[in-house]
Amino acid sequence: MLLDVEGTTTPLAFVHDVLFPYARSHLREYLREHAGTRDVREVGRLLREEWTADSLGVDGTPPPWRDDSDHAMVESIASYAEWLMARDRKSPGLKLLQGWIWQRGYGDGTLHGDVFPDVPRAFDRWRHVGIDIAIYSSGSALAQRLLFSTTVYGDLTSRLSGFFDTSVGAKQSPDSYRRIVAKLRRAPASVLFVSDVSDELSAAREAGLQALLCARHGDPAPSPNADVPVIASFDEIVA
Model pLDDT for residues 136-158, shown as the tens digit of each residue: 999 999 999 999 999 999 999 99
Query: Distance between CA 168 and CA 165 in Å, rounded?
Result: 6
Instruction: Reduce the DSSP state of residue 106 to 3 states and report it.
Output: helix
pTM over 0.85: yes
CATH of 16-107, one of 1.10.720.60, 2.40.50.140, 3.90.650.10, 2.70.98.40: 1.10.720.60
pLDDT digits (tens, 9 = 90+) for 33-70: 999 999 999 999 999 999 999 988 766 789 999 989 99
Query: Distance between CA 195 and CA 137 in Å, rounded?
Result: 10
Query: Distance between CA 138 and CA 167 in Å, rounded?
Result: 9
Query: Distance between CA 227 and CA 93 in Å, rounded?
Result: 33
pLDDT digits (tens, 9 = 90+) for 113-140: 999 999 999 999 999 999 999 999 999 9
Residue 99: enclosing H or E segment and its boundaries?
helix 92-107
CATH of 2-11+112-236, one of 3.40.50.720, 3.90.1300.10, 3.40.50.1000, 3.30.70.360: 3.40.50.1000
Instruction: Reduce the DSSP state of residue 129 to 3 states and report it.
Output: coil
Nearest partner of 19 among 95, 118, 80, 120, judged by Cα:
95
Query: Distance between CA 25 and CA 72 in Å, rounded?
Result: 20
Q: Label residue 239 by pLDDT band (50, 70, 90).
A: low
The DSSP bridge partners found for residue 194 are 3, 212
The ranges assigned to domains in the chain are 2-11+112-236, 16-107
Query: Distance between CA 100 and CA 80 in Å, rounded?
Result: 17
